[in-house]
């Protein structure tokens, strides 16, 4: 994509939010290098930044989602202490501020950080501490989404139960939502998660699920039946106009992640991503990076892709950012304050662009 100075200025000035951001997929090569120093036997410890980048960043499209999930294997050993998780969440705040992201929802599965000495609860507390320090130092608001995981053969029912209970415990204390994500080839039915998502909803949490990323059974139908507020990816909706209609009618927001979908092979190119059809068809769409560390991109890169690959005008980019804000799992009074700030800054960015 060719740089366009006027557009670049707008992309930075446009206030943004991010609602689909994995804490463990967000580590920059710099943060990976820093965290590796805490891990006694880390193979990353002696590598240069370039070597780390080559090892952990998925820059070319892969054959399958599983190959990209394998890239996370380099990250998980780094996040097995309170200090490391806190740094990761704090650094996500710094990165957001650099891009003029006003608020983000960080998601992760605390059981993946668990060791004999480090409990999922401690992992969650560390993430909340780091994100809160980031809020104070960089002015980026945050909420945490807990990811339940599929399949049970990788993360057991008991571990999912534990995470759902943790999310309910911390509802209103930094945790804002529940997600169902993949820890492996997650081909188990989403309907297995009904009870936990129901408990989350009853505790006031927002609900989202990774669905329709790869072609996999009744995932999208299940997500609809679960009554989720948002769907992560949804690329497979391309072949399902009936479900697009149902999603629009239910007011469900699709969390679009363009580069992620290109690199995992979910779409063959940016141009074939269905985001433009959704937007033009009045489906609510937000934009995120999914895993900025794994894919070596930032949120500005994703907005640039909308502009240059799908012809989104600045006003339309602002609409996408605004839809992201409306989709956030926040209390209405806090959201109203954020909306006011957003509208003021978005109007200024659009004015500058046209000047
Ligand atoms: Zn994701």
Q: Is the pTM of this model over 0.85?
A: yes
Distance (angstroms) between ligand 1 centre and the Cα of 202 equals 24
User: How does strand 141-150 pair with strand 175-182?
Assistant: parallel
Q: Residue 171 and residue 48: Cα distance in Å, rounded? A: 40
- Residue 213 catalytic? yes
pLDDT tens readout for residues 253-268: 999 999 999 998 999 9
Q: What is the pLDDT of residue 54?
A: 84
For the chain, the structural domain boundaries read 5-354
CB within 8 A of 40, min separation 6: which ones? none
Strand order in the sheet with 175-182: 16-22, 101-108, 141-150, 175-182, 206-211, 230-233, 253-256, 284-287
Residues of the chain with pLDDT under 50: none
Superfamily for the 5-354 domain: Metal-dependent hydrolases (3.20.20.140)
Q: Residue 62 and residue 41: Cα distance in Å, rounded? A: 29
- Choosing from 162, 188, 213, 302, the catalytic residue is 213
Distance (angstroms) between ligand 1 centre and the Cα of 21 equals 7
Task: Please give all residues whose CB falls under 5 A of ion ligand 1, grouped by chain where several chains appear.
Answer: 290
Q: Residue 71 and residue 73: Cα distance in Å, rounded? A: 5
Q: What is the pLDDT of residue 43?
A: 84
Q: Residue 99 and residue 331: Cα distance in Å, rounded? A: 24
CB within 8 A of 26, min separation 6: which ones? 88, 91, 92, 95, 106, 289, 291, 292, 293
Distance (angstroms) between ligand 1 centre and the Cα of 301 equals 17
Q: What is the pLDDT of residue 55?
A: 81
Distance (angstroms) between ligand 1 centre and the Cα of 164 equals 18
Distance (angstroms) between ligand 1 centre and the Cα of 182 equals 8
pLDDT tens readout for residues 5-63: 999 999 999 999 999 999 999 999 999 999 998 888 888 888 999 988 888 888 877 76
Around Cβ 46, how many Cβ atoms within 10 Å?
Answer: 8
Distance (angstroms) between ligand 1 centre and the Cα of 81 equals 23
């Amino acid at each position: 994509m060719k740089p366009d100075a006027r557009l670049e200025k707008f992309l930075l000035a446009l206030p943004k939010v991010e609602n689909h951001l994995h804490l463990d997929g967000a580590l920059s090569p710099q943060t990976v290098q820093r965290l590796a120093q805490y891990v006694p036997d880390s193979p990353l410890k002696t590598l240069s930044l370039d070597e780390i980048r080559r090892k952990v960043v998925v820059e070319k499209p892969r054959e399958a989602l599983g190959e990209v999930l394998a890239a996370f294997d380099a990250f998980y050993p780094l996040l097995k202490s309170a200090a490391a998780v806190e740094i990761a969440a704090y650094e996500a705040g710094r990165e957001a501020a650099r891009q003029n992201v006003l608020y983000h929802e960080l998601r992760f599965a605390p059981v993946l950080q668990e060791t004999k000495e480090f409990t999922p609860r401690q992992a969650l507390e560390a993430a909340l501490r780091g994100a809160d320090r980031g809020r104070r130092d960089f002015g980026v608001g945050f909420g945490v989404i807990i990811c339940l995981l599929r399949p049970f053969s990788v993360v057991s029912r008991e571990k999912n139960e534990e995470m759902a209970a943790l999310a309910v415990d911390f509802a209103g204390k930094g945790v804002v939502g529940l997600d169902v994500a993949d820890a492996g080839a997650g081909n188990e039915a989403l309907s297995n998660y009904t009870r936990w998502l129901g408990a989350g909803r009853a505790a006031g949490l927002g609900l989202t699920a990774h669905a329709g990323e790869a072609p996999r059974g009744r995932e999208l139908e299940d997500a609809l039946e679960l009554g989720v507020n948002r769907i992560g990816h949804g690329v497979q909706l391309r072949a399902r106009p009936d479900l697009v209609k149902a999603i629009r009618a239910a007011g469900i927001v699709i969390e679009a992640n363009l580069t992620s979908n290109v690199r995992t092979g979910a779409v063959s190119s940016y141009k074939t991503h269905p985001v433009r059809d959704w937007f033009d068809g009045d489906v609510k769409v937000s934009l995120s990076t999914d895993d900025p560390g794994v894919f070596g991109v930032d949120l500005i890169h994703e907005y640039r892709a909308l502009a240059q690959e799908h012809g989104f005008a600045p006003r339309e980019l602002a609409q996408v950012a605004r839809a992201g804000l409306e989709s956030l799992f926040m209390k209405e009074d806090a959201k109203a304050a954020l909306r006011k700030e957003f509208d003021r800054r978005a109007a200024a960015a659009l004015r500058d662009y046209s000047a």
